Amino acid sequence: MTEPSIPTRRDPYVAGLRRVLPALLRDPLGTLVGLADASPGQVVRLNLGTIRPYLVVEPAHVQHVLRDNAANYTRAGDSMMWKSVKKLGGDGILAEGPQWEASRRRLQPHFTAKRIDAVVDGLSQAISDAVDELNVPARTGEPVDAASEISRIICQAVIGVFFGNKIPVTDGVRIVTEQDTVATALRFRLLTPFLPDAVPMPGDRALRRAVQNIDDILLPLVRAERAHDDGGDDIVASLGRGRDEHGHKLDEQRVRDDLVSIFVTATETTYTVLTWLFPLLEQLPDVAERLYAEIDRVVGPGDVINREQLGELRYTRMVLDELVRAYPSGWLVPRTAIADDVIGGTRVKAGGTIVLSPYVTQRLARFWDRPAVFDPERFAPDAPRRAHRYAYYPFGGGAHQCIGQYFFQVEAPLIVATLLSRFRYRLCTPGMPSPRLAASLRPRERVPLLLTPHRQPALA
């Protein structure tokens, strides 16, 4: 679809404070989708009182910001989220400018399809070992928390593949817990991006403590790797012997910043999105049945899934593609405009906050048929081509496109198929949880599961 032709430059449509704010507080995601549906082809300025971000959702406009004129849209500005992310991830792959560029260049080789394909067997084994730990609660009938279990499985996978098993999984799980504290503590700052850091806010102390706890786990590892090159090809080893643009050994802080950033993005994005799957499948027996049937056909009892089996999990992948459409963990991708610009005929001012949201764009009624319906068939191989590349961008686009996309596309079906080939589950609390908006889109309520063994040779 091409950009709508708008003859003159105009100011954005402004959604007024009194109308928008109460609705946003009541149902932020529904309100944003409603506003976007009601203003086709337009950039909407949200009047939230002290902040007035531009909501940019039209796929052609998203492309303008992320790709065509990306140089004008930075993560380094005052935009609510990135200032907060920086407190955890520092100045590396999640930042902007030369530091980001150098980090991206250093990390990219670890995320190529060739590199990930080469570690599939190890990844699958790590996932299988982690899933095995659920045998006990499945036998005793003890409920398990979906998010905690999925994040434990992911920690084991990520620590194995990217961290050369150099930290214990229990430490990885502690980092995820501290991350949650950071996400909660940052909510106050996210709501008040205009306040300088010098103004104390609730959550500041918890934030500092959580970052300190993460550093207490990772810094000894960073120091050991910088002092002694073990010749490994994991990310820790390669950053430990890394050189900066002047040929000097990377300093401790830069290694730390990238390790933390990779750990955080690799775990949080994936466990939040996969947690939605369990309540969803309970609502959608047809999808669940087809998914179970595929997994039972492809994966034998107790199998550690191999590459060939992974390739056959086609419906599983369609379900996951739809899952990141409907519940993209990176629901918010903000930028700050460096100079005045015109997006699709609408003026935006220098310094303005630009809010891109894969969640909103991926639910626009003019680009998606029945957008509120969860339908994996949208991603069937013979489904019609999408109207625009940026009608679906759960992994972003342009130079900052998600470095872990391919890893996710391999890891997620392995996790889902390993789990569901060995267990069936019931929700302790039926129904869909409501979303909780943090840096990622997560279920507000916990999702406790009652597991039962399914086709396990050891348990039969």
- Nearest Cα neighbor of 359 from 271, 441, 442 is 441
Binder among 44, 56, 94, 260 for ligand HEM (CB under 6 A) = 94
Angstrom distance (rounded) from CA 57 to CA 365: 12
| Residue 383 φ/ψ, nearest 5 degrees | -70, 150
Q: Residue 372 and residue 384: Cα distance in Å, rounded?
A: 19
Q: Which residue is nearest to ligand HEM (CB)?
A: 404
The pairs formed by 369-375 with CB atoms below 8 angstroms and a separation of 24 or more are 371/33, 374/280, 374/283, 374/284, 374/287, 374/322, 374/326, 375/322
Binding mask 286-325 for ligand HEM (x = CB under 6 A): --------------------------------------x-
Smallest distance, Å, CB 381 to ligand HEM? 21
Beta carbon of residue 278, minimum distance to ligand HEM (angstroms, whole number) = 16
Q: Smaller CB distance to ligand HEM: residue 15 or 235? A: 235
Place of tokens 């909407």: 44
Q: What is the distance between the alpha carbons of residues 114 and 55, in angstroms, rounded to a whole number?
A: 37
The span of 210-218, 286-294, 394-402, 414-422 binding ligand HEM (CB under 6 A) equals 394-402
Q: Which stretch binds ligand HEM (CB under 6 A): 115-123, 206-214, 308-316, 402-410?
A: 402-410
Q: Is 42 in the site for ligand HEM (CB under 6 A)?
A: no
How many other C-beta atoms are found inside a 10 Å radius of the C-beta of residue 193? 19
Instruction: Locate 219 and state its tokens.
Output: 């810094």
Helix (H, G, I), strand (E, B), or coil: what is residue 243?
A: strand
Closer CB to ligand HEM, 261 or 346, in the complex: 261
Position of tokens 């302790």?
A: 428
The answer to whether 328 contacts ligand HEM (rule: CB under 6 A) is yes
* Residue 249: strand pairing partners: 243
Q: How far is the CB of 329 from ligand HEM (least distance, A)?
A: 4
Q: Please tell me whether residue 407 binds ligand HEM under the rule CB under 6 A.
A: yes
Judged by CB under 6 A, which of 390, 408, 423, 425 binds ligand HEM? 408
Dig out the tokens for 256 from the structure.
């730390």
Q: Which of 118, 72, 65, 96 has its CA nearest to residue 307?
A: 118
Q: Determine if 175 is a binding residue for ligand HEM (CB under 6 A).
A: no
Site residues (CB under 6 A) for ligand HEM, limited to 231-290: 261-262, 265-266, 269-270, 273
Residue ranges in contact with ligand HEM by CB under 6 A? 75, 93-94, 104, 261-262, 265-266, 269-270, 273, 324, 328-330, 333, 394-396, 400, 402-404, 407-408
